[in-house]
Amino acid sequence: MSNLTINVQKELLRQPSTIALVGNPNTGKSTIFNALTGLRQKIANYPGITVERKMGTTIINGVLHKIIDLPGAYSLNHKKADERITYETLIGSYDHEEKPDLLLMVVDASNLERNLFLASQVMDLQIPILMVLTMSDIADERGIRIQSQQLSNVWGVPVVSINARSKQCDLQIKQALVEQGVATPKPFQWNPSKPLRQAVERLDREWLSEHTQLPERARPIEALRLLAEGNFEDSFYQYSEEGKAKKLIEELQNTLEAQGENPTAAEVVQRYRFIGDSSEGSVTKEQRDEQTLTDRLDNVFTHRVAGPVIFVLVLLVMFQSIFSWATPFMDMIDMLFIEFGAYVSSSLPAGLLNSLLVDGIIAGLGGVVIFLPQIIFLFLFIYFLEGTGYMARAAFVMDGFMTKVGLHGRSVVPLMSGFACAIPGIMATRTIENWRDRLITIMILPFMACSARLPVYAVMIAAFVPDKRIIGFLTLQGLVFFGLYLFGIVMAVGSAAVMKRIFPTGKPTPFLMELPPYKWPNISSVVIQSLERGKIFITEAGKIIVAISIILWVLASFPTYEPTANDLADMDANRQMSEQMLSTLQLNQSYAGNFGQWIEPAIEPLGFDWKIGIGLLTSFAAREVMVGTLNTIYSIEETEKQLGLIERLRSEIDPETGLPKYNLATALSLMIFFAIAMQCMSTLAIVKRETNSWKWPLVMFGYMTVLAYFSAWITFEWANTFLLG
């Protein structure tokens, strides 16, 4: 069983190579990736599908290497899109990913057997490997000691034990790569039974080698899968002569059964048997009766009553903190952009170019950058909670409730990601294997208050909700903010319950969710990932926002208004008033003004005027454009002092009544509208791709717009009657 002759390779790292990280979810794989690459990461979707490709670079001994963080998987039986990518990349037949030269096989020491299951499949593929053991401290706490040398002897690959939470975990890995090197494991080290081995060989020889383009080293794994499953349903290769193969597989299955093997179970059972037997020499377990940290924390966090209560509290604290911590940063950014705009405005000659730079570009950029603090704080929370292991508990505690409303415990994570942005959330629904559960999750996901709504909420709350303290650290502003998030959740739950009745039932989803041990996350990894999200927001949303800000500036600035003789006479009498009036007249008769005024009658019952009307239309491109639009509109209506948008909204006077134009009722109505309306073409585009039809994005846009209109209407009437009347 033991394999003392390891064929160690150290020269691989002397030239630039591609290193892939492989492992189960929750093993610290991402932490290692972040430690190795830092901010030298490139995160984008794989073409055609919605799984994120995480690529980065690292330098080992002066040589630059590529690092790929492959999606976490429990098995290579490739049923889900992300597992397929891992499998296809490993066998080198995925068009959109480089074939890795060597692998870092990440293995959780506290959960060795299940981790070695995937590792044993990966090792069958004969790629040079360094096995990286993580979470030894948690294993220690449970009385598990792993002899790395023994493990290395059993599997024939070098093994290094690291602490993924330490700042130097990248150095530990680099040192191991240089000193211990990597080794190519031999296939079938897990001692498959003779009948199974023969069946694999026959399937390989008589069919896979002739009729598929699979590389030789991938064929045994494929043969095992076909023997177990016996179907081609989720096969991504075009097989020729399927009929012949089916007959052969059936024959082999029958032979196996005759020899006393269950063809479906054989591979899994035998791998686990070998792992169990072989770990006897390399793992020592002390029987410990006292509860571990995880046991004690779970007694509270997954408690029948306390669990759900804590979950709601976690959300409450999260959103209150984001709101209060982000504000000083936002004020600072706001001020910087106002100062910068004023500086540019005064140092360039007045005119169209000046206006374009200051009112179009700088104001638009300011509208993007200002919300970076909130986005980063939100993701700090999300990644932190994920890193602690709490997110899985949230799914466990909520699953009972989620299934009641037609969702899935796994819907919680995408839905929570939806708090940052619906787009990654909708992409994350890929982990829900059942189509119906997934579709319902996608259809309600935009109700989760995404970060693009934060700008609108933040401006409206700061401008119109009194900054009153309620209890302790809770303010009325924070409470309204939380209320909006809760409202989105309630709408989501209600819609899901309705859709559950309407949408046809499908095959129920297998629910096998791991609850990883609680641990203190690697903070720098949490920070890196949050900054990466910020970067994605700036580069991807930012482009659209700035572009639309410029288009809007054009729409608002043309056709240019020619002052009449009367206007000029007025200007002589009262210079300041007339300039404001001129700007208003300019905007009124611009393309944008015409557009806003055209839809004003339709949105008047909601308490919106034509300026908000312009914002509603432009914000279809992205919700946060609303604020950019208002910024641009009000920058063009220059007052003597450049006030921030919040001050400007508060001081806006209705010329007919002489009263403030916007009040609490308008603010609430607008926020409710934004909580529900499908004001985001990027979301619709991703839904089209995920559902592969225009039907679902159209249904989504339709039902959400109708729901938003009536909810905002009711809110406006209610607020006017009960809050202001």
Partner 1 sequence: MLLSDAHVYKKYEVKHIQGDELVRIMEMGLTPGSICEVIRRAPMGYPMEIKIRGYLLSLRKKETDAVEVSPK
For binding to partner 1 (CB under 8 A), which residues are involved? 74-75, 77, 79, 110-114, 117, 142, 144, 228-229, 264-265, 268-269, 272-273, 294, 298, 302, 304-305, 307-308, 396-397, 399-401, 403-404, 409, 507-508, 510-517
Task: List the Cα angle 622/628/629 in 5-degree steps.
Answer: 90
What is the nearest approach in angstroms of partner 1 to the Cβ of residue 165? 19
What does the alpha-carbon distance between residue 635 and residue 647 come to, in Å, rounded to a whole number? 12
Nearer to partner 1, 194 or 273 (CB): 273
CB 162 within 8 A of CB 132: yes
CA distance 643 to 622: 24
CB nearer to partner 1: pick between 397 and 452 = 397
CB of 296 to partner 1, least distance (A): 13
Q: Are the CB atoms for 683 and 422 separated by under 8 Å?
A: yes
> How far is residue 149's CA from residue 166's CA, in Å, rounded to a whole number?
22
Rank residues 120 and 374 by Cβ distance to partner 1 and give the closer one.
120
Q: Are 680 and 422 in contact (CB under 8 A)?
A: yes
- Contact (Cβ atoms closer than 8 angstroms) between residue 520 and residue 361: no
- For partner 1, give the closer residue by CB, 310 or 536: 310
* Closer by beta carbon to partner 1, 269 or else 581: 269
SS3 track for 269-333: HHHHHHHHHHHHHHEEECCCCCCCHHHHHHHHHCCCCHHHHHHHHHHHHHHHHHHHHHHHHHHHH
Give the nearest distance from C-beta 125 to partner 1 in angstroms: 17
How near is the Cβ of 302 to partner 1 at its closest, in Å?
6
What gap in Å lies between CA 271 and CA 191, rounded to an integer? Answer: 8
In the bound complex, what is the minimum distance in angstroms from residue 403's beta carbon to partner 1?
7
Please report how many Cα atoms fall inside a 13 Å half-sphere around the Cα of residue 675, on the Cβ side: 26
Closer to partner 1 by Cβ: residue 54 or 78: 78
- Nearest distance, CB of residue 146 and partner 1, angstroms: 12
Smallest distance from partner 1 to CB 75, Å? 5
φ, ψ at 674 (rounded to 5°)? -70, -25
* Prior bond of 185 cis (ω within 30°): no
CA–CA gap between residue 411 and residue 429 (Å, rounded): 7
Closest distance to partner 1 from the beta carbon of 130 (Å): 23
Which CB atom, from 326 or from 385, has the smaller least distance to partner 1?
385
Q: How far is the CB of 410 from partner 1 (least distance, A)?
A: 11
Burial 251-272 (b: 16+ CB within 10 A, else e): ebbeebeeeebebeebbeebbb
Of residues 110 and 320, the one with the C-beta less far from partner 1 = 110
Give the nearer residue to partner 1 in terms of CB position, either 282 or 355: 282
